[in-house]
Structure 1
Amino acid sequence: MAIHNIHSIEASQFSPSIKKNLVKPSEAQISFSNFLKKSIEEVNNAQIQSDVMTKKLVNGEDIDLHQVMITSQKAGITLQATMEVRNKVVEAYQEVMRMQV
């Protein structure tokens, strides 16, 4: 049983409302890259803030212990979540690479 008359869909076949929602691969790559960069910077800032608060506590500055612990836990959780996302992305990449063309 053969399948006939299957044609590739060109962007010109879409209605104007669908055409404007199409994103070029290069634009998607830049957008995704910016998203990843921003996310990693946020994780880094959380780690830096945790380090600063810990140093303040160690130096005897007027800072509450519970604030230091909360900041430390937030930094740890964001780092853990980032690592889990990275692991899932690596797994997805490996699955795609195992696909037979």
Structure 2
Amino acid sequence: MTNINQIKMQNPQLQYNQTTKATPFQAQQKFANTLKDALSKVNEAQNISDQKTIALAKGETLDLHDVMITSQKAGVLLRTTVEVQSKAIDAYKEMMRMQV
């Protein structure tokens, strides 16, 4: 079984139903909600990383490994978000250059 099929089985909302087609407004809302959810997860990871870093600086925790792992995860999420943003902007610019 491919990875895509595994993801679809784990997330039934990703299943495509050919009999039901979304309107452009519904598709836009779903895309906007997906982006909002992703950004909120990045923000949450950044906040958790900040909290753990502050706790380490105050001496409230001595688990340096956990702080560093959390920081790295937050950094990877942020870099990924910036790359997705860049690709989306590039795609938008490319569409604006198209001749109709």
Per the alignment, residue 29 of structure 2 pairs with: 30
- Point out where structure 2 has 5 or more consecutive residues left out of the alignment: 1-16
Displacement of 1:70: 0.2
Alignment of 1:1-101 (within 5 A): 18=18, 20-101=19-100
| Structural RMSD (CA) | 1.2
Aligned residues: 84
Between structure 1 and structure 2, the one with the greater Rg is: 1
Gaps of 5+ in 1: 1-16
Percent sequence identity is 50
Q: What displacement does 1:77 show? A: 0.2
CA distance, structure 1, for counterparts of residue 62 and residue 23 of structure 2: 50
Q: CA deviation at 1:22?
A: 1.1
The normalised TM-score by structure 1 is 0.80
Name whichever structure is richer in helix by fraction.
Answer: 2
> Which amino acid letter does the alignment assign opposite residue 86 of structure 1?
Q
Give 4+ residue runs of structure 1 displaced > 2 Å after superposition. Answer: none
Query: 1:63 Cα deviation (Å)?
Result: 3.5
- Structure 2 length as normaliser, TM-score? 0.80
